[in-house]
Structure 1
Amino acid sequence: MLGIGSIAKKVFGTPNDRKIKATQPLIDRINALEPEFEALSDAAIQERTADLKARVEKGESLDALLPEAFANCREAARRALGLRAFDVQLMGGIFLHQGNISEMKTGEGKTLVATFPAYLNALGGKGVHIVTVNDYLVRRDAEWMGKVYGLLGMTTGAVYPQQPELEKRAAYQADITYATNNELGFDYLRDNMKSELNDMFQRGHNFAIVDEVDSILIDEARTPLIISGPSQDRSDLYRTIDRVIPLLTEDHYTIDEKTRNVTFTDEGNEFLEEHLSGAGILPEGQTLYDPESTTIVHHVNQGLRAHKLFTRDKDYIVRDGEVVLIDEFTGRMMAGRRLSDGLHQAIEAKEGANIQPENVTLASVTFQNYFRLYDKLSGMTGTALTEADEFAEIYKLGVVAVPTNKPIARDDQDDAVYRTAKEKYDAIAEAIRESYERRQPVLVGTTSIEKSEQLSQMLTAAEIPHNVLNARQHEKEAQIIAEAGTPGAVTIATNMAGRGTDIQLGGNVDMKVMEALAADPEANPDELRARIEAEHAEAKQKVIESGGLFVLATERHESRRIDNQLRGRSGRQGDPGRSAFYLSLEDDLMRIFGSDRLDKMLSRLGMKEGEAIIHPWVNKSLEKAQAKVEGRNFDIRKQLLKFDDVMNDQRKVIFGQRREIMEADDLHEITQDMRHQVIDDLVDQHIPAKSYADQWDGEGLYVAVMEKLGLDQPVIAWTEEEGVDGEVIRERLYTASDELMAKKAADFGPDNMRQIEKQILLQTIDQKWRDHLLMLEHLRSVVGFRGYAQRDPLNEYKTEAFQLFEGMLDSLRADVSQKLSQIRPLSEEEQKAMLDQMKAQRSEVEDAARAVPPEGEAEAEAAAPGFVEADPDTWGNPGRNDACPCGSGRKFKHCHGRIS
C-alpha cells in the first residue's frame, strides 16, 4: 500500500522532476536555433559573441541571452571537438547558470557541460573560474575546452603552482580560467599580502563552476589553507613559564589522560597570576581571565601538558640537544616532525634543549569562506544528493539530479557480508578470477593503499595480470583508467582514483591513437585511427557480451557518496555493467556499528566458513549507519565553520581596508582620522568626562601626547587655565598635530609623503593582523574549557574575538600615528634608502606568501638528478610524506604522487 507521500509524488512529481520539466521550453528554443547557427561561418560565430557582449553591456540579462549563447556554444563544440551536446547536457548547463549543483552520472560529459554556463557568464567581461581537483585536470581541461572557447572568440587560462607571475596574471585576465581549489585559495591570500594593486592576480570573484564539487566543498573543506612563516623568537617566554610549572601542586590543576588535556583550578589560576606578574609576563592589573591574556594562558597550558602528559624516552627522546618525537605505534623516531601550537617549544624548554621558533600564520582561509566570496557559485558531480542539506545550509546551493542521456542498465547487487576479512578477500579473489576468465573487465575499489597492495599480492599469487592505481602521477592514472575497460583488464584503485577520465568499454580510442602516433610518428593518422576504431569495436562487443564493466568494492566507506562514485564508474551512457560490495564483520564501518550482534546472529544461523549473508535489509541498515556518520561529520564541519565565520568577518574588514589603502591616491584623511581618534582616546583617559579639574592628569597627558604624537605642547598649563575643558584641549591638540604633519608633508614633498603613509599603513596593518591571528588561534585552543562552566564556547569566542579585534584597531591607530610623528626630513638619498627598506620588508612577506607551501612542507629546491616528468620510472621510490622529486618543495602525496 502506497503512503500519502508516495501518492503525492505520483500525482504532482518530485521537486526534482518539476525542475527538470521547467527547463524543457529553454531546451526547445536552443534546439530550434540549431539550423541557424549551423549555417554560420567560423568568423560569424565570433561575431555572435561580440554581439552578445554588446547586449550585456547595454543591460540585457544573461537569462534572456541563454538560448542564443548555448546554441552558439553547442555549434562551436561540435566544430572544435566533434561533440554535439545532448539535451541533458544543456539541461545540466542551465542548472549551473542558475547557481545549482548539477548531479550528472559518470560518463555524461560534465567537462563539456561546463562550457555552456562559463561562456554565457563570461560575456559580462568579469571572468569565470572553473575549479578542478588536480593540476593535471586543470591543464587537460583548459587545453581541451580551450578549443571551444577559442572558436567562440573567448580567451582561456590555466593556473597552476610555481607558475611564472606574468603567465599567472594573464591566466586570471582570461575570460575563462581553469584552476585548482588550492591554488585559487592561496592566490587570494597572496593577493591580500601585496602592497600594490598592479601586483594582485585575481580581479574579483564573479562566477565559479566547481567540478567534483562534493570532493572540493566537503571532503577538502575540513582543513583551512594556511600560509605560514617563522615567528619572532619567544624563547624567554617558554623558559620563564617552564620555571613556574614545577612550583604547581596537584591542587592547582586537573588532568584528563583520555583526551590528553589539562585544566587549571581556581587556586591554580590565582597562584599563576601571582607568579607570572612577579616574573613580568603578566602586566600589572591584568588577570588571566582578560582577553589580552589569551596567549599567556595558552602557553601556560602547553607548559603544563609538556610536564604532565609527555614523558622523556616514551613520547620523545633528547638527542644532540634536540627533542625528537617517538611514534607511539612503531616506537621509531620521527625526525623532522614537530608538535604544533607551542607544545614542542614547551617540551624543549622543559628539557633545556635549543628552542626553535614556532611557525606563525601569516594568512589563512577555509574553502567554505573562500567560495562564499563568489557572486554566484555552482558545481557538478556524479554524487551530491546525499549531502544536499550541507550544500543548502553552508553554500546556499540547490542540488538537481539531471537524468542520464540513456537509461542506466547497470545491475547493482546487494552487499555480500562475510564473517572474517580472510573469507571476504578469498571471495573477492575468486570473483575476480571468474570475471577474468570470461574476459569481463573488473575495477576493484579499495579504501587504502595498504589494502590495494595486499589484494595485488593475492592476484599475483593467482597469476592474474592487473594494474594497481594508487600514488602514481595523474597522467599515468588517466592512461590506466582509460585502458580499464578492455577485455579481461583488472584494475585495483583507491575509491577516489581516476576521477575525470571515463572508463570506456573496449578501451579509449583517442588514448590508443595518441600512443600509436607517439610510437610511429610517420604513420598516417587517418589510417591508424580507422584500424584502431575497428579493433575497438570488436573489443567493445566482447566486453558487452561478458556483461560490461564489473565494479567490485572491497569495503563500505563512511560516506555513501564515495561508494556511489565508485559504483558510477560502470554503466556509463547506457552501457551494461554490474556492481557489488564485498564486506566483512571486521571492516571499520561494520565493526563500529554493531557487528557483535550480527556475528551472534550469523553463528546461530549456522553459517559455514566462506558463506555470505546477502539481503536488501543489510543494505538498508548499512545506509542508515553511513547516514549517521555523514550527519556527525556535517555537524563537526558546521561547528568549525561557525568559529571560522567570526574570523572571516574580521578578515573581510582588514582585506577591504588594505584594498582601499592601495586604491587611494591620498591617505591624508585616513591618517588624520586615526590621529584624531588617538587624541580622543588620550584625552578621555586623562581628562575623564564629567570629572573635576583637580582630578585631571595633565602631566600624564603631556607625556602620552609627547610619546604617541611627538607633540611638545604646554598641555599642563592648558589644564590649569580658567574655562578650559577637555573639548578645548582636544581641539588644540587636533590643530597642533595637523600643523606638525602639514610641515612634515612640506619637508618631505607631497609624493614622498603619500608613499610613506601608504607603506607605514600597510606594514602596520599586516603586522597587527598576524599578531591577531595568533591570538585567535590561542583563544580557540582554550575557549573550549568554558563549556565546563556551562558557558557556550562559541559565544565566548565571539565576544572575546570582537574585544581583541577592537583592541587591535586601537593599537593600529596608535602605532601608525606614532610612526608618522617620528619620521623626520631626510636627504634625498636617505629618503630613497628608507622607502627601499620599507618595500624590502613588504617584499619579504610577499616572498613568504609565494614561497611557503602548505603548512608542514619544505621549501622548493632543484629537481632530483635524472627526474623526467613524463617518466615515473625516473622518480625513484619516494615515501608519501617525502619531498617530491620534481623539486616543487611539496610532499610527494600532494604533488606528483597525488591520487586524483
Structure 2
Amino acid sequence: MVSLGGVARKLFGSANDRRIRSYKPRVAAINALEEEISALSNDALKAKTDEFKQQIADGKTLDDILIEAFAVVREASKRVLGLRPFDVQLIGGMILHENAIAEMKTGEGKTLVSTLPVYLNALAGKGVHVVTVNDYLARRDSETMGRLHAFLGLTTGVIHHGLDDQQRKAAYACDITYATNNELGFDYLRDNMKMQRSEMVQRGHNYAIVDEVDSILVDEARTPLIISGPLDDRSDLYVAIDKVIPMLEESDYEIDEKQRSANFSEDGMEKLEKLLTEMGLMKGASLYDIENVAIVHHLNNALKAHKLFSRDKDYIVRDDEVVIIDEFTGRMMPGRRYSEGQHQALEAKENVKIQPENQTLASITFQNYFRMYDKLAGMTGTAATEAEEFGNIYGLDVVEVPTNLPIARLDEDDEVYLTVQEKYQAIVSEIKEAKEKGQPVLVGTTSIEKSELLAAALRRDGISDFSVLNARYHEQEAFIISQAGVPGALTIATNMAGRGTDIQLGGNLEMRIEAELGGTEPGIDIVTNEQGQKVEVERKFTPAGPEREEKEKAIRADVARLKEQALAAGGLYVIATERHESRRIDNQLRGRSGRQGDPGRSKFYLSLQDDLMRIFGSDRMESMLTKLGLKEGEAIVHPWINKALERAQKKVEARNFDIRKNLLKYDDVLNDQRKVVFDQRKELMDSEDISDIVVDMRHEVIENAVKRRIPERAYAEQWDVAGLKEDCVRLLNLDLPIEEWAQEDGIAEPEIEQRIIDAAEKAAAVRAEQAAQFGPDVQKYVERQVTMQALDHLWREHIVNLDHLRSVIGFRGYAQRDPLQEYKAEAFELFQALLTNMREVAVSQISRVQLVRQAPPPEAEPAVDPAQMRASHIDPDTGNDEMAEADAVGETDVMPAEWANTGRNDPCPCGSGKKFKHCHGRLLA
C-alpha cells in the first residue's frame, strides 16, 4: 500500500526537488547574460563592482542584483582561475545566499561555489566571513579565491594563528575575511576583554559561510571555546592521586562507555578513604565531608583518565605534552585542553609535565557564537542526517544539491566477521587484490591506534608502500590525500572530515607541480619533521622559463596517463574498517570516491568486537547474525545488517542531539547574561563621560546600605549604626559621624541617607578637582577603567559559580524538580548579585583612587598616556589601599586649559615640534 505522501512525491517530487526546480529560472537568466558579460573588457568587468555598490546605495536589494552579480563572478572565475562554475554550482551559491546549508558531494567544487554569495554579500560593505576548519585551508582559499575577488576590486584578508591585533584588525576590515572557527570565536572573546573600543579587532557579525558546517556546528558544538588564566600549581596532588587508581580493582568502580561516565562504588570509596588517609591527602573521616569535595573531583578525573581516555585515540603524547585528538576529524588540537583538571589528570597518567590548572576568564560555544550572525549559511558533503538539528538550533534549512554528473560509485553491503583479527585478515586480502590490478585504495579507520594496527598487519603480509594519514602527520595531510588517487596508491586515514583536498584519479596536478618544481622564487619554509619538531628548510623552486614549462608539460602528461590507468582499474576503492557512531562520518569517507562522475567502489568491514557493535548493537542484532549463520572465519553480507546498523547509528545520533540540545538550553542562560555584560562593556567603552552613571551607582549603593542597616519602620534602637558606619568606610572611604546623627531628635532614614549622599558628593568633587590637574579627561578615564575592571572581575567569578552550579544541579531531579528551571532561577539570582556587587566594588574603588605625578624617564616622551595608568592594579575583591593609586605619567607642568582646543594634527603649542596628538594632546586621548 502506497501512502498519500509517497504518491505526492512521485507526482510532484520531494520538497528538496521542488526547491531545486525553483532556482532554475534564475540559472537560465544568468546563462542568458553570459555572452554579454564575456564581451566586457577586464576593466569594464571590474567596474561592475562599483556599479553594484551604487545600485545598493540607491535602494536595490542584494536579491535584485543577484543574477547579474553571479554572471560577473562566473566570467571573472573563467578569466582568473580558469574555472567556469556549473549550473549546479550556481544553485549552490543561491542556497548559501538564502541562509541555508548546501549539501554538495565531495569534488563538486564547494570552495568555488562560495565565491558567488561571498561577492554578492560583500558588496553591502559590512564584511563577509568564510569559515574553514584549519589554518591551511584558510590560507589556501584566501590566496586562491582572493585572486578572483581582487580582480573584481574587493579586498581579502585571512586570520590565522600568530597574527597580532593590528594584523587581525586589518584582516577583519577587508571586504572578505577567511578564518578558522576557533580564531573567530577567540577573537570575539578577546575583544570583549579589551579596555578600549579602538583595541577591538572584529567589526561585527554580518554574514558567515561555514565550510564543513556539520563538523563545526554539530561535532564541535559541545566543546566551548575558553580563555583562561593559570591557578596555583598543584602538580604534586595530581601525581599522588594518579598513583591511587592502579591500586583499585574492577569492583571498586563502574564504567559506562555509552554515557562516557565513571563512578566509584561504595566499596571503592571505603578503600579510597583508607588509602588517602595513609597518604595524608584526606581531611576528616569521610570523603563525603565538605572539605574533601576537591579531592573527590580529582579522583573522578583520574579514574576517567585511566578507564575512559585512550592514548592514540582520544589524545597523543608529543613533545612532553598531552595533545587532544578531535574524534571526528582525527586531527590534533594543540592549545586545546580539557577543563576542570581533566587534562592535568591525563598528564599525570602519562608522566609528562603537568601544566597548571586554569580558571575560565571567558567562554562561548560555537552554537552561540555563530547564532550571533545576522545571516548564516553553510556547506558540506553530509548534512541531511542532521537536518533536524540545523533547523531547530540554527534555523538553517538543508538543501541537497544534485551532482554535476551522475554518481557512478558502487556502494557494497557491509561484511561482518566474528572477531577483529578475522576482519583485518579480510581487509588485507582485499587490499592486495586491489593493488594487483592497480586500483587506488583509501582505507578509513576510527583512531590512530587502529590505523597503526592495520599498518602493522600490512607490513607482516609484505605490503610496505603505503601512506598513513593521522594526527601524527597532520601537516603532510594535504599532499598525502592529493596523491591518493594514483594507480596502486594505498592510503590509510583516521578520518576524512574537512580534509579540504579532493582525491583526484591520477593525482592532483597542482600539488604535484608544487612538490616537484616548487615555486618560482627561493625562500625558507617552516615544516614539521617526523619527530614533530619545527625546522627551517630551503623552499624548493624552479625559475619561470622554458625549462619549467617543459617540466610542467611532462607532469601534466604523466597525470593524464595515470588517470586513465586508475579509471581502467575501477576508480578509487574506499575500504572502511568499522562504522562510526555518526552516519555522516561514514558518508564523508564513502564520498571521497566517485567525484565528478568517476567510477568508484566502497565497502565497510565490521566485527562483533567493534565499539559501535559492542556498545550500541542490540542483542537482537547478534542473534540475527547467528541465525544468518555467522561462523568463525566467515563473513555475513546482507542488506538487513546495513538496516540494523543504520538503526543503531540513528539511536546514537538522536541521543547525541538530545545531549547537545540540553546543553544548549543551559548555555543559553549564560549566553543571555553574557550579551548583557558585553553590551554593558561596549556602552562603557563608547561613553566619553560616565560620571552620571557613577553618580547613579553611588546613590544606589548608599540607598541599599541604609535600607540594609536601617530597616523600614524600625525604632532607632534597632538601627545597626555601627554597621552603617563600617559600610561608609568600606564603600565610600568616608569616616562619618553616624552615631551622632542617629542620636539627634526626630532624625529618620531619609535624612541620614541624604547626609551620606551629600558627604559622598563633596568627596567626589574634591577628587575631580585633584584629577583636573592631570588633564580634563583623566577623571573620566579612571572612572571608566575602574568600572570595567570591576565588571570583568566579577563576571569571571560568575562564570565559575555557574559552572559549579551546573555540575550539581542535576541532583535536584531526585527531588522531583526540573533541574533546568532550578538552574535558570538560581543563575538569575547570581546575576542580580553580580550587578549589585559590581556597583559596590566600582564605587568603593573609585572613592580610593589617588592620582600621583611621576617624572618620566629621560628617554621617554614628555606626554601623558592614560593607557599607562595602573587602574588595573586595583584589587577588585577588597577595594582597599592595596590598589591605592593609579599612576599618571605626565608633564612636569600642567597643560594650559586653552591648549585643549588645538587640532589633533596641528603643531603642539609647547614648541616641541611634534603634532599635538603626539605631545600634550595625548592627555585627551
User: Once structures 1 and 2 are overlaid, which stretch shifts more, 71-80 or 605-614?
Assistant: 605-614
User: Which one-letter code corresponds to 2:140 in the other structure?
Assistant: R
The CA distance in 1 between the partners of 2:70 and 2:875, in whole Å, is: 45
Instruction: Give the stretch that moved more between structures: 531-540 or 373-382.
Output: 531-540
Amino acid at match of 1:589: L
Distance in 2 separating the partners of 1:356 and 1:215: 29
Per the alignment, residue 644 of structure 2 pairs with 621
Name the SS for the 2:843 alignment partner.
Answer: helix
Which residue of 2 is the match for residue 881 of structure 1? none
Query: Could you say what secondary structure the match of 2:33 adopts?
Result: helix
- Residues 545 and 764 of structure 1: CA distance in aligned 2, closer, same or farther (over 3 Å): same
Is this contact kept in 2: 1:759–1:838, CA < 8 A?
no
Aligned with 1:836 (options 855, 868, 877)? 868
- Deviation of 1:161 (Å): 1.0
Aligned AA (1:794): L
Task: Please say if residues 689 and 780 of structure 2, whose CA atoms lie closer than 8 Å, have aligned partners that are also in contact.
Answer: yes
* Alpha-carbon distance in 2 for matches of 1:739, 1:542: 91
The letter for the 2-side match of 1:625 is: A
Report the Cα distance in structure 2 between the residues aligned to 1:342 and 1:490, rounded to whole angstroms: 41
Q: Distance in 2 between matches of 1:805 and 1:234?
A: 30
Cα separation, partners in 2 of 1:606 and 1:25, compared to 1, 3 Å: closer
Q: Is the contact made by 2:468 and 2:493 (CA closer than 8 Å) also made in structure 1?
A: yes
The residue correspondences of 1:335-374 to structure 2 (distance < 5 A) are 341=340, 358-374=357-373
| Aligned match of 1:684 | 707
**Change in 2 beyond 3 A, CA 1:336/1:523:** closer
> 8 Å contact 2:127–2:206 — kept in the other structure?
yes
Q: Aligned to 2:190, what secondary structure does the other structure show?
A: helix
Deviates more, 1:548-557 or 1:377-386: 548-557
- Closer, same or farther in 2 for the Cα pair 1:702/1:455, shift >3 Å? closer
Distance 1:760 1:604, change over 3 A: closer
Q: 1:827 to 1:721 in 2, by over 3 A?
A: same
**CA, structure 1 residues 605+788, in 2 after alignment: closer, same or farther (shift >3 Å)?**
closer
Which of 760, 764, 767 lines up with 2:786 in the alignment? 760
Residue 246 (structure 2) aligns with:
none
Aligned to 1:94: 94
Q: Distance in 2 between matches of 1:634 and 1:834?
A: 50
**How do residues 351-500 of structure 1 correspond to structure 2 at under 5 angstroms?**
358-464=357-463, 465-474=465-474, 476-496=476-496, 499-500=499-500
The 1:454–1:712 alpha-carbon spacing in structure 2 relative to 1, beyond 3 Å, is closer
Output one character per residue of 1:552-606: Cα deviation in whole Å (capped at 9) or x when no partner.
1111100000000011001111111111111111111122244655545545555
1:354-753 aligned within 5 A: 358-464=357-463, 465-474=465-474, 476-496=476-496, 499-518=499-518, 520-521=542-543, 523-594=546-617, 597-603=620-626, 605-693=628-716, 695-719=718-742, 724-749=747-772, 750-753=776-779
Q: Provide the residue aligned with 1:14 in structure 2.
A: 14
Q: 1:340 to 1:170 in 2, by over 3 A?
A: closer
Match of 2:137?
Answer: 137
- CA-CA distance at 1:133 after TM superposition: 0.7
Change in CA separation of 1:260 and 1:414 when aligned onto 2, cut-off 3 Å:
closer
Tell me which residue corresponds to 2:162: 162
Q: Distance in 2 between matches of 1:534 and 1:636?
A: 53
Q: Contact 1:702 / 1:715 at 8 angstroms: preserved in 2?
A: yes
**Structure 1 stretch 604-613 or stretch 740-749: which is displaced more?**
604-613
After TM superposition, the structure 1 = structure 2 runs for residues 181-192 of structure 1, keeping only pairs within 5 Å, are: 181-192=181-192
Residues 73 and 632 of structure 1, relative CA distance in 2, 3 Å threshold: same
Over 3 Å counting, the alpha-carbon distance change for 1:736 and 1:421 in structure 2 is same
Name which structure has the greater RCO, CA cutoff 8 Å, separation 6+: 1
> What residue in structure 2 maps to residue 797 of structure 1?
823
- SS of equivalent to 2:220: helix
Residue correspondence of structure 1 range 44-63 to structure 2 within 5 A: 44-63=44-63
- Tell me, in whole angstroms, the C-alpha distance in 1 between the residues paired with 2:415 and 2:231: 55
* CA–CA distance in structure 2, aligned partners of residues 30 and 704 of structure 1: 73
Give the C-alpha shift of residue 36 in structure 1: 2.2
Counterpart of 2:269 in structure 1 is none
CA distance in 1: counterparts of 2:461 and 2:195, whole angstroms: 63
1:369 Cα shift?
1.0
Report the 3-state secondary structure (helix = DSSP H, G, I; strand = E; otherwise coil) of the residue aligned with 1:440.
coil
Partner residue in 2 for 1:783: 809
Q: Secondary structure at the match of 1:614?
A: coil
TM-score, length basis structure 2: 0.78
CA distance in 1, matches of 2:264, 2:711: 43
Q: Give the Å deviation of 1:46.
A: 2.3
Cα deviations by residue, 1:488-517 (Å, 9 ceiling, x for unpaired): 111111122672111111221222233343
Write the letter of the residue equivalent to 1:371.
F
CA distance in structure 1 between the partners assigned to 2:787 and 2:297 by the alignment: 39
The structure-2 alpha-carbon separation of the partners of 1:489 and 1:497, relative to structure 1 and needing over 3 Å to count, comes to farther
Query: What amino acid is the match of 2:642?
Result: N
State which drifts further: 757-766 or 595-604.
595-604
Q: Deviation per CA, 1:517-569, whole angstroms, max 9, x where unpaired? A: 33754654444343333333332222222211111111110000000001100
Q: 1:720 to 1:379 in 2, by over 3 A?
A: same
Distance 2:146 2:751 in 1: 68
Q: Is the 8 A contact 2:628 2:636 kept in 1?
A: no
Aligned residue-pair number: 775
* Structure 1 residue 358 displacement after superposition: 4.4
CA contact (8 A) 2:254 2:265 kept: no
Return closer, same or farther for 1:392/1:681 CA change in 2, 3 Å cut-off.
Answer: same
Deviations, residues 73-112 of structure 1 (Å, cap 9, x unaligned): 1111111100011111111111111110100000000001
The whole-number CA distance in structure 2 between the counterparts of 1:548 and 1:742 is 83
Deviation at 1:809, TM superposition (A): 1.2
**AA paired with 1:496?**
M
CA contact (8 A) 1:30 1:67 kept: yes
2:843 aligned to 793, 810, 817, which one?
817
Cα displacement (A) at 1:406: 0.9
RMSD over aligned CA atoms reads 3.5
Q: Deviations over 1:248-286 (max 9, x none)?
A: xxxxxxx9966666999xxxxxxxxxxxxxxxx9xxxxx
Change (3 A) 1:730 1:556: same
Instruction: Specify the SS of the correspondent of 1:785.
Output: helix
SS, match of residue 222 in structure 1: coil
Find 1:301's aligned residue among 286, 289, 293. 293
Shift of 1:813: 0.5
How far apart are residue 303 of structure 1 and its match? 4.2
What is the CA–CA distance in structure 2 between the aligned matches of 1:113 and 1:339, rounded to whole Å?
36
Contact 2:786–2:872 (8 Å) recurs in 1: no
Structure 2 match to 1:201 = 201
| SS, match of residue 399 in structure 1 | strand
Instruction: Say yes or no: does 1:2 pair with 2:28.
Output: no
In the alignment, the residues of structure 1 paired with residue 390 and residue 46 of structure 2 have an alpha-carbon distance, to the nearest angstrom, of 37
Which runs of 5 or more residues in structure 2 are unaligned?
242-251, 256-260, 267-282, 312-316, 323-336, 346-353, 519-540, 857-862, 877-925
- The 3 A distance-change label for structure 1 pair 648 and 601 is closer
Deviates more, 1:606-615 or 1:553-562: 606-615
Q: Distance in 2 between matches of 1:104 and 1:389?
A: 18
The alignment partner of 1:162 has SS state of: coil
Give a deviation string over 1:42-62, Cα, whole Å, max 9, x none. 222222111212222333211
| Structure 1 residues not aligned, in runs of 5+ | 243-254, 265-280, 282-295, 317-323, 347-354, 845-900
Whole-Å separation in 2 of the counterparts to 1:480 and 1:573: 20
